[in-house]
Amino acid sequence: MTDVARVVVVDDDRAIRWVLERALAQPDLEVETVDRADRALERLLEAPPDVLVTDIRMPGIDGLDLMAKVREVHPELPVIVMTAHSDLDSAVASYQGGAFEYLPKPFDVDEALSLVRRAVAHARERRRPVSVPEGLDAEIIGEAPAMQEVFRAIGRLSHSHITVLINGESGTGKERVARALHQHSPRAGKPFIALNMAAIPKDLIESELFGHEKGAFTGATAQRQGRFEQADGGTLFLDEIGDMPAETQTRLLRVLADGEFYRVGGHTSVKVDVRIIAATHQNLETLVEDGRFREDLFHRLNVIRVHLPRLSERREDIPRLARHFLAEAAKELATDIKVLTPEAETHFTRLPWPGNVRQLENTCRWLTVMASGREVLVEDLPQELREPGATQGNTGDWRVAFRDWADRALAAGHTHLLEEAVPDFERILIETALKHTGGRKGEAAELLGWGRNTLTRKLKTLLPALAEGE
């Protein structure tokens, strides 16, 4: 096998072809670009490259059709699919067709080069890429990079029965992801049963999970199947697993190890085939260290971990999520769909949303009922979301606010962030230090950890009005 790998890029966007042609111009890579899939198809069938990089939406044959036709003849060819439509359906459709990787636009050229190199290595190892079924739940919306990682995980796990642990704050959508994992797994035709550990009284959890026999306790007037039996062949979603009592943890571990259990009050074992998806907003490692969660159970559950970001970490998704929830609320309440004004939409993206996606969904439902006009103004929002401090958050940690600012700036297309942030950062510190010293520059320099000359130089650049005099 030659040391130089051949890469074919198919995209009708001249700028994308230009960027990739130069980014992939490496000594070990030979790059060819084509503007249409139908023009590339015949040559790809006759002389397949080491890696194919293709856009999805193009005139004539689209990228998914191109991938399908080429992979019928060359099933081991790794294909990297690009799309400007960074939604879950695109991600899943790409994996369904056997894509090696999914690259949402706009992308970092270093990331694209890294992906191509990985695909070359993959081709040389003769491994087949993972395929997944199409049509994941459209309610899982996310163009943010963190959500793209969630989409990738769902796609890669779609042929698996493996245990999954989902972690994320309350309201981030853990059950929706669990349902998507089930719906696009080999168990899709079997039940999906959800149980929230935090919502069940401690003395009823074992009965809920494992069922009970008639007469097992007061009120047990008939035999009852538990959630494990109800989920046989399918998926059992255990939400807030960190709240499971210690004795139930022991029984759960035994079921995961043996695949069988006894109903409460029973003497005959019940055998089941259940996939477990667990979720928590807590740090299970900390609970293990504190002795509140069994370490062996933690390792049983923590086979594959999927992390869901806070809504404040994916602000670019807020407008699309809001539109979706407003449409859903209008359908549910049989009324007209409300529309956010640009000012309201911008305000939404700046709010801290401590309740995450659930809070946003409930706010959209509230607005559908309470906003008087079809257009939603900032003034229509609940009082707690429109008062001056609403967009500042209440964490008390400047790092959180600074991180949010950086997220918003980058999402809005800003560049050279350090040139913008560092002078403001230093200016604020200087002003605050001078305030604390009553304007005495020598003491202010000491508070900041600078020499007097450094402070004088900074003042001339940043605060010339304060540079003169003592």
- Residue 468 pLDDT class (50, 70, 90 cuts): low
Is 419 a member of any domain?
A: yes
Is 150 a member of any domain?
A: no
Check pLDDT > 90 for residue 235. yes
Check pLDDT > 90 for residue 193. yes
Check pLDDT > 90 for residue 192. yes
Task: Specify whether 303 is located in the same domain as 163.
Answer: yes
Q: Which of 164, 230, 235, 245 lies closest to 198, judged by CA?
A: 245
Task: Specify whether 224 is located in the same domain as 297.
Answer: yes
Q: What is the pLDDT of residues 136-145, one digit of tens each?
A: 344 578 888 8
Q: What is the pLDDT of residue 125?
A: 57
Q: Let me know: does 122 contact 129? Beta carbons within 8 Å.
A: yes
Q: What is the pLDDT of residues 354-375, one digit of tens each?
A: 899 999 999 999 999 888 677 8
Which structural domain, as residue segments, surrounds residue 20?
A: 5-127
Check pLDDT > 80 for residue 416. no
Global pTM exceeds 0.85: no
CA distances from 28 to 17, 34, 106 (A): 19, 20, 25
Is 132 a member of any domain?
A: no
Is 439 a member of any domain?
A: yes
Among 336, 355, 386, identify where a domain stops: 386
| 271: phi then psi, degrees, rounded to nearest 5 | -100, 135
Check pLDDT > 70 for residue 198. yes
CA distances from 222 to 186, 210, 225, 267, 271 (A): 33, 14, 10, 16, 20
Is 143 a member of any domain?
A: no
Q: Let me know: does 144 contact 309? Beta carbons within 8 Å.
A: yes
Task: Specify whether 282 is located in the same domain as 368.
Answer: no
Q: What is the pLDDT of residues 266-322, one digit of tens each?
A: 888 889 999 999 999 988 999 999 999 999 999 999 999 999 999 988 998 999 999
| Rg of the chain on CA atoms, in Å | 28
Task: Specify whether 270 is located in the same domain as 189.
Answer: yes
Q: Let me know: does 141 contact 321? Beta carbons within 8 Å.
A: yes
CATH number (domain holding residue 234): 3.40.50.300
Average pLDDT, the chain: 83
Q: What is the pLDDT of residues 430-467, one digit of tens each?
A: 888 887 887 788 888 888 888 888 888 888 877 776 66
Q: Is the peptide bond before 78 cis (omega within 30 degrees of 0)?
A: no
Q: What is the pLDDT of residue 358?
A: 92
Q: CA 117 to CA 122: how far, in whole Å?
A: 9
Task: Specify whether 188 is located in the same domain as 298.
Answer: yes
Is 462 a member of any domain?
A: yes
Task: Specify whether 258 is located in the same domain as 173.
Answer: yes
Q: How many domains does the chain have?
A: 4
Is 300 a member of any domain?
A: yes
Task: Specify whether 297 is located in the same domain as 160.
Answer: yes
CATH number (domain holding residue 341): 1.10.8.60
Is 431 a member of any domain?
A: yes
Task: Specify whether 168 is located in the same domain as 298.
Answer: yes
